[in-house]
Amino acid sequence: MKKALFLDRDGTINEEVGFLHEVEKIRILEGAAEVIKKARQKGYLIIVISNQSGVGRGYFGIQEVEKVNQGIKSILGKEGAGIDAFYFCPHSPDDNCSCRKPSPGLFLKAAKEWDIDLSSSLCVGDRVRDVEAGIRAGIKQGFLLLGDMEGESSKLKDLLLDKQQGPRVEVIKNLREILPKL
């Protein structure tokens, strides 16, 4: 079985601009290419999992999400930072689907399709729901990028510590902070 680095997209790999659906608005965050490249060198698959509720809300279509994903893949690929797969939930928060984070559905789907050992994998996101989904899927270590933490602190409390196994989620300021953990 393989190990993977699961990354959220908006706010983790690229700047959060609110319902990103235009390739020309992609801005890769500092350190993202470096971390992805290093993780690949260490044998990790790179899997991006994101909620794209703009589709379910009717703001844009699946084709726009796929174009942005390909744009991100192309930009990172030029820096030697390849992405193996993108998975996204197109539903709105009211749809109560099993693929929208914090549900673990897309992590489990990727694990099955790519023969991934979730217990040896890592996840990174900029929202509690991003790492919560990974932890619920069986990932033992998640990283939460500091960002807009308003309303997130109460959700974070239960995820931060597993009384039997120690910290499950580490709060980081920059994506590069996970480099020693790879």
Catalytic residue numbers read 8, 10
d(CA 121, CA 141): 7
d(CA 141, CA 162): 11
Plot region of 97 (φ>0 → left; ψ -120 to 50 → alpha; else → beta): beta
Residue partners of 44: CB distance under 8 A and separation at least 6: 3, 4, 5, 121, 122, 182
Residue 3 half-sphere exposure toward CB, CA atoms < 13 A: 16
**Total count of residues recorded for the chain:** 182
Total H helices, total E strands in the chain: 6, 8
Helix, strand, coil percentages, rounded to 5, for the chain:
40, 20, 35
Q: Please name the residue that has the structure tokens 């990174």.
A: 124
